[in-house]
Structure 1
Amino acid sequence: MKHLTIDPKHARPPTRTHLHHPQSLPEAITTALHPSTPGNENASLFFIGTATTILEYAGVRLLTDPNFLHAGDHVHLGPGVTGTRVTNPAIYIEDLPAIDAVLLSHYHADHFDELVENSLRRDLPIVTTEHAKDALTSGKDAGEAFTEVTSLGFWESCLIQCDGKGRNVAVKVTGTPGKHVPDGLMSKANELLGAVPPTNGWMVELGSVEAGKGDESFQNGYRIYISGDTLMVDELKEIPERYKDQNIDLMLIHLGGTTIPSPSIPLLMVTMDAKQGIELMELIHPEVTIPIHYDDYDVFLSPLSDFKKAVEEAGWTDRVVYLDRKDQFKFRVK
């Protein structure tokens, strides 16, 4: 298992150019609670937009797939393919509080945009794919390479350990399978063109380790599966097999039915639509599902309303929490 040690007490501003960041996130518009265990909440998820969230637990803040472009800004998504943002993020990048680490599912401009790449401080810890690590650390001008990048393949894990008293706070991150492009001719063509980058999902376990003991002392208190940008592929079936008899408390599912080159010319879908989202809920069986990545760009073919309808038809409305930008979800880590 790989290791990353951080000290949340001395976390510095996340960007290079803004030195006066706020100490905390802004007040959420709406707060939802974990329905099966409400009360005594000690952790939260704040939704910024797209696949960008902030997980906060015991003073530790993890930022997922940072995308802080504004409405009207464009991103490059592949050869001859662009997307336009149609929403604003809940907060702007200069308003971010201290961040301890970034979980980056893949190196794509709607998940790690040019503004983010230019702004983040170079020693901010980033956990990501091998492809993204290479993009962030190689071929850069002097002083521009990111210096604290950890890559995880499928089923590789990293223990993010935070100094503390007694039982130390720790977060275990495990890479899970993900595929933008299904097997077959399109996959072979993508390998040649390098049009759509490889992607990870994550299993994030919030918990602790006993002081002075090794990785085997890690105890999970709340388990979160983040699907990443993937389709419903066979490789995902390994997730419930590996986590058999282990509760998955929350699933963050990337939806939208992203199509390229555009919804008007839907040649290839590269993220789940509503139908596949329901299939993933059935496969993973999380206690709670929160959909993200569904309406921030003009490349989405399957709106959130499609997923809501499918959830109602499946009789699963009590298993889904819907967050808008600047909403938060609070829960209890045991």
Structure 2
Amino acid sequence: MKVHLLRHATSIINYHGLQFLVDPMLSPAGAIEPVANSGNTLRNPLVDLPVSAEELRKLLQNIDAVLVTHTHLDHWDAQAGALLSKDLPIFCQPEDQEAFARAGFTKIRPVIDHVEWQGVLISRTGGQHGTGEIGKKMGQVSGFVLSAEQEPTLYIAGDTIWCAEVKQALQEFRPEVVVLNTGAATFVVGDPITMTADDVFQVCRTLPAAKVVAVHLEAINHCRLKRSELKEQVEQEGLIQQVAIPADGEVLTYAL
């Protein structure tokens, strides 16, 4: 299994001989309005993709399916809708099925509990995109677990903080690899709506044998936590062998 981080939560997962594109935000830097009430007016994404337009086109030609945890603009943008083939299978939460249909996609596979596709079992998990009223306003979010013969079980947690749903997924599926959307995304009021360093440590303590991949960093204007800060805290906790913090464009490889 390979995890190729492009940027933010967008990655290409090579799994069981298939290429899964996860949460595609494919716009060039500055193409999207700032996230409101974030204390700054920086336009998103803050950085370009680590590949050229031609390289991106070639990568997208080899995609077998798309996994979308939810349709906030930093996980599914207009550029993704324009660049991706309309007959690509899209696995999503049921709440987002209609949005993909309106965009012209023809092979939408809403995951209620789990589906099996091309030898891969895709299971949907829950989460909490923040706390209190902010969490409610952020709407429904999901994660996905991929499992297949002779592959590590992979848990893509999605936009969630540490919560009962994440703990349940870790205990139920016992994944060997866990991808966490970190960055401690925060508005000018309220608690973070994505994982902080402490949330990452909760995951590590709950499943010490798992390899953790921290993404969702340094690309959107309300993500406060920097890679260097997270790395420093991970080192202080003695977890540097468990937690990877890939750079944009980096490829990580995992095997049983």
Q: Shorter-normalised TM-score: what interval?
A: 0.7 to 0.9
Equivalent in the alignment of 1:59: 17
Confirm or deny: 8 A CA contact 2:204 2:242 kept in the other structure.
no
Counterparts of 1:56 and 1:317, CA distance in 2 = 24
Give the direction of change, closer, same or farther, for the CA distance of 1:132–1:312 in structure 2 (3 Å limit). same
Task: Map Cα deviations across residues 242-296 of structure 1 (whole Å, 9 max, x no partner).
Answer: 23xx4x2211111001123xxxx24452111112121122223343111111111
Equivalent in the alignment of 2:148: 206
Amino acid at match of 1:198: Q
The one of 163, 167, 192 equivalent to 1:233 is 163
Percent identity, aligned pairs only, is: 23
Give yes or no for the alignment of 1:297 onto 2:220. Answer: yes
Counterparts of 1:281 and 1:227, CA distance in 2 = 13
Counterparts of 2:226 and 2:38, CA distance in 1 = 24
Equivalent in the alignment of 1:129: 93
Task: Map Cα deviations across residues 269-328 of structure 1 (whole Å, 9 max, x no partner).
Answer: 211111212112222334311111111122111222232122112211111223211211
Equivalent in the alignment of 2:207: 284
Confirm or deny: 8 A CA contact 1:75 1:110 kept in the other structure.
no
Give the direction of change, closer, same or farther, for the CA distance of 1:119–1:62 in structure 2 (3 Å limit). same
**Residues 265-284 of structure 1 mapped to structure 2, 5 A cutoff:** 265-284=188-207
Confirm or deny: 8 A CA contact 2:25 2:77 kept in the other structure.
yes
* Higher Cα Rg, which structure: 1
Confirm or deny: 8 A CA contact 1:250 1:286 kept in the other structure.
no
* Aligned-pair Cα RMSD in Å: 2.4
Moved over 3 A (4+): 75-83, 184-188
Confirm or deny: 8 A CA contact 1:77 1:109 kept in the other structure.
no
Amino acid at match of 2:109: T
Give yes or no for the alignment of 1:69 onto 2:18. Answer: no
Give yes or no for the alignment of 1:254 onto 2:181. Answer: yes
Deviation at 1:122, TM superposition (A): 1.4
Q: Secondary structure at the match of 2:198?
A: helix
Equivalent in the alignment of 2:139: 197
Counterparts of 2:164 and 2:254, CA distance in 1 = 31
Confirm or deny: 8 A CA contact 2:134 2:190 kept in the other structure.
no
**Residues 1-334 of structure 1 mapped to structure 2, 5 A cutoff:** 43-75=1-33, 84-91=44-51, 92=53, 93-96=56-59, 97-137=61-101, 140=102, 144-153=103-112, 156-161=113-118, 170-182=119-131, 184-187=132-135, 190=137, 196-207=138-149, 221-243=151-173, 246=174, 248-260=175-187, 265-332=188-255
Q: Secondary structure at the match of 1:63?
A: strand
Counterparts of 1:284 and 1:99, CA distance in 2 = 31
Counterparts of 1:288 and 1:113, CA distance in 2 = 29
Deviation at 1:179, TM superposition (A): 1.3
Q: What TM-score do you get using the length of structure 2 for normalisation?
A: 0.88
Confirm or deny: 8 A CA contact 2:197 2:230 kept in the other structure.
yes
Deviation at 1:95, TM superposition (A): 3.4
Deviation at 1:79, TM superposition (A): 9.4
Considering fraction of residues, name the structure with more helix.
2
Amino acid at match of 1:322: I
Counterparts of 1:270 and 1:228, CA distance in 2 = 11
